[in-house]
Amino acid sequence: MKSSVFTWIVGGIFTLLVFTGGFISAFYLNYASLGSTYTKEHIDNGRFMLWALKHLEDDEIEKAKNFLRSQVSTKVLIVDSVRLPPTSKRELELIESFYLEVIEYFDAHGGLNETFQVMENDKWVTRPTAAMKILEEFKAEQDKWLWHESCF
């Protein structure tokens, strides 16, 4: 009887230790992976800014604009991955305001017209980039919402 109670107590303590250890290790691994992603993002941002600055100093304005535009498009892709649930209301508001600013910028400079070419049926076809698709979908959602609001 005493050994049975002792076995249950040891088993329970062991289970709690394994669960707690797993929880702590999962928390640490998540924290470490987010930290390295955050650091890498800052390094990438710094490199893009440095390249754009070098092109500006060398009077290569168009190259600098292209670098900065590609950086904005990359940020749209990164932000779109954060948009997936669960996302707080504050983050969604920040994402929406960022998208609206980017759309406003691109509309003022010729529209959402970043493209790439892909071969289909032995012909080169021009398609919008993934970032432009995301922005076009967001713009359509906003237009639909604004139209719906104006009806009431």
Per-residue pLDDT tens for 87-123? 678 878 888 888 899 999 889 888 888 888 888 899 9
Q: Are 15 and 7 in contact (CB under 8 A)?
A: no
Look over the chain and give the mean of its residue pLDDT values, rounded to a whole number: 81
- More confident: 50 or 87: 50
- Amino acid 136: pLDDT: 92
The contacts of residue 139 (CB under 8 Å, 6+ apart) are: 103, 112
Judged against a pLDDT cut of 60, whether residue 152 lies above it is answered with no
- Amino acid 133: pLDDT: 92
Q: How far apart are CA 15 and CA 45, in angstroms?
A: 45
Judged against a pLDDT cut of 70, whether residue 125 lies above it is answered with yes
Interval 14-29: pLDDT, tens: 899 998 888 888 777 7
